[in-house]
Amino acid sequence: MSVAGFEVSAPGKVILHGEHSVVYGKPAIAGPIGLRTYLTYKRLQTPEVILDFASIPFNSSLSLESFNAFLTQFDCHSNLQPLEFLEKMRSAEGFPFASFVTRQPAQDSIKEKFSLGTALYLLNRILRSEGVESLESGFQLTLKSVMSIGAGLGSSAGYGVCVSAGAFLLSKIIKGELEANFSLQNSPEVLEKISKWAFDSEIVMHERPSGIDNTICTYGNLIKFKRGKPFESLKLRQQVNILIVDTGVSRTTAKLVAGVADLKSRHP
């Protein structure tokens, strides 16, 4: 099946209870919000791969030859796990995939570096895991979120879910296996894969995620979540109105989690 384009999206999330304690095995309650992150795929006639992060804004590209070399020379599925990749991203040696891209992230831009790095990491990890080692035509991925980045609404998890879903669909297109009536929502085994890949993305972004963000952004629904256990869907007996206020102050989840970990170690 030849596919010229598609779009996938994922909701943001709000944690109603247990935002920090969930990291330490306590239950949390969370649900999706009506703000989404979108990924648009477009097949290109030119031999290049373009990654456009419209919300930052930032874009970069690889020639098709460079992208195929990237898939061959790096195996992010078997040989480069998320924590190892995070260490590479943090090292002083520069951007890990610098030799393949035409435009590198600005040295002082964490958003550019981690957006591009994580997208390439997931593309490699997922395409390799699905048996794809080269492409014959170029494509463009455009990512855009209507959420404020760094506002605690799950923008990074929504990003990971969208890239993971997009990369999986791309693998099906390349292998000629994408059926006309295929639906991600009706494929629980694929959703499980997407949630796990998005969790890998969260590790790269935040080092020690709980798993609740990628779960909400993949499946939706109000859930009770406990780390290491299957989530439990919840049903409200009546409608609840919740007001979310965006202060406009960006924060880094990894730093907040580290701060709580420090407090816990000093006051067990």
Domain spans of the chain?
A: 5-266
pLDDT at 184 > cutoff 80: yes
- Name 140's bridge partners: 42, 50
pLDDT in tens, 173-183: 999 988 878 88
Q: How confident is the model at residue 62 (pLDDT cuts 50, 70, 90)?
A: very high
What span, in angstroms and rounded, lies between the C-alpha atoms of 41 and 218?
Answer: 19
What span, in angstroms and rounded, lies between the C-alpha atoms of 233 and 255?
Answer: 30
Q: Active-site residue 213, yes or no?
A: yes
pLDDT at 251 > cutoff 70: no
Higher pLDDT, 35 or 20: 35
Exposed (0-12), middle (13-18) or buried (19+): which is 107, by Cβ within 10 Å?
exposed
Exposed (0-12), middle (13-18) or buried (19+): which is 158, by Cβ within 10 Å?
buried
- CATH assignment of 5-266, given 3.40.190.10, 3.20.20.70, 3.30.230.10, 3.30.1240.10? 3.30.230.10
Among the options 66, 156, 164, 171, which is catalytic? 156
pLDDT at 1 > cutoff 60: no
Instruction: Provide the pLDDT for residue 131.
Output: 95
Return the percentage of the chain with pLDDT > 70, whole number.
96
> Which pair of tokens denotes residue 27?
């239950």
Q: How confident is the model at residue 253 (pLDDT cuts 50, 70, 90)?
A: low
Closest alpha carbon to 122 in 144, 137, 148, 143: 143
Within 13 Å, how many C-alpha atoms sit on residue 72's CB side? 9
pLDDT at 41 > cutoff 70: yes
Cβ-based neighbours of 44, under 8 Å, separated by 6 or more: 50, 137, 138, 139, 140
Higher pLDDT, 223 or 263: 223
Instruction: Provide the pLDDT for residue 254.
Output: 65
Q: Active-site residue 75, yes or no?
A: no
Return the percentage of the chain with pLDDT > 90, whole number.
55
SS3 label, residue 57: coil
Cβ-based neighbours of 73, under 8 Å, separated by 6 or more: none
Instruction: Provide the pLDDT for residue 45.
Output: 95
pLDDT in tens, 69-97: 999 999 999 999 999 999 999 886 788 99
Instruction: Provide the pLDDT for residue 244.
Output: 84
pLDDT at 63 > cutoff 80: yes
pLDDT at 200 > cutoff 90: yes
Higher pLDDT, 208 or 53: 53
